[in-house]
Homo-oligomer: A and B are copies of this chain.
Amino acid sequence: MDGNGLHEVANPSEMFLAERSVEIAGTSIFPSLEGTRPILVEVQALVSNANYGTPQRNVNGFDVKRLGMLIAVLEKRIGLAMGTKDVFVNLVGGLRVDDPAADLSILCSIASSTMDKTMGENIVLLGEVGLAGEVRSINRLEQRLVEAATLGFKKAVVPIASVNEKVKNINIELYPVKFVKDAFKVLF
C-alpha cells in the first residue's frame, strides 16, 4: 500500500477494514444505527498532556457533556488521571452519534490513547456506560452484531444484560461484561 500500490477496491467492507488504523492506540469500532440500518463507525481518541492553560475537551460527532461524564467515570471508577490531559474525540467520516450505546467505544478509545495501548484487531465495542462504571444494556444488539460479523469482525464486547440466545448464535465471539473494568480486562 505504498505510493505505487494502487488497486481498485470492490467490496466496501474490505475497504472499511483495510483503512482501519489498528496499529495505533486510541481507535475502536462501534456498530451504530442510522435509523434502523446498522453502520460501523470508527471512533478515534487522542489524549496527551495539556501544555497550555485549561485542558481541552474537543469532540466531533458526539455530545460534549456526555464526553465529560465518560471522562469522569474513567477518573473516578477506573483511576486514570484525566484532569491535566487534552482529550480529542473524533467520529470518522463526519458522522454524528447520539446513541448512548457508543459510550463504551468512546470510553475505551480514550483509555487506549491515555495508556498508549492498542485494543487488538477485529473487535467491536457496544454498551451504555453509567456513572457507577457499569455497562448497561442497549437496543438492537442482534442487528448490530450481524452487521459487524458480516464485515469480518471476530469479537464483540457487549453488555451482559443484552445477551440472549439469538445473539449467542451470531458468528462472532462474545465478551459479555457488567462493568467497564471487566471490559478493560478483555481489551488491555
Contact A9 B60 (CB under 8 A): no
Contact B132 A6 (CB under 8 A): no
Partner pick for A19 among B6, B15, B161, B168, CB 8 A cutoff? B161
Shortest CB distance A76–B (Å): 5
Complex-state Cα separation, A82 to B8, whole angstroms? 38
A150 within 8 A of B: no
Shortest CB distance A135–B (Å): 10
Give every chain B residue within 8 A of A42 (Cβ-Cβ). 130
Give every chain B residue within 8 A of A63 (Cβ-Cβ). 60
Contact A44 B94 (CB under 8 A): no
A13 within 8 A of B: no
- Of A15, A69, A100, A182, which is in contact with the most chain B CB atoms at under 10 Å from its CB? A69
Give every chain B residue within 8 A of A98 (Cβ-Cβ). 94
A: contact size bracket: 35 or more
Counting every copy of the chain, the complex holds 6
Contact B132 A44 (CB under 8 A): yes
Complex-state Cα separation, A182 to B5, whole angstroms? 15
Query: If the complex has contacts A72-B86, A84-B52, are A26 and B131 also in contact, measured as CB distance less than 8 A?
Result: yes
The residue of chain B having its C-beta at the shortest distance from the C-beta of A54 within the complex is B53
Shortest CB distance A85–B (Å): 10
Complex-state Cα separation, A19 to B83, whole angstroms? 30
The residue of chain B having its C-beta at the shortest distance from the C-beta of A168 within the complex is B6
A80 within 8 A of B: no
Known contacts A24-B132, A52-B83, A92-B130; 9 further A-B pairs (Cβ under 8 A)? A1-B160, A19-B136, A26-B131, A46-B72, A53-B54, A60-B65, A88-B131, A93-B128, A94-B100
Closest 10 CB pairs of A and B: A52-B83, A44-B131, A46-B131, A24-B132, A94-B100, A8-B164, A21-B132, A58-B68, A6-B163, A19-B161
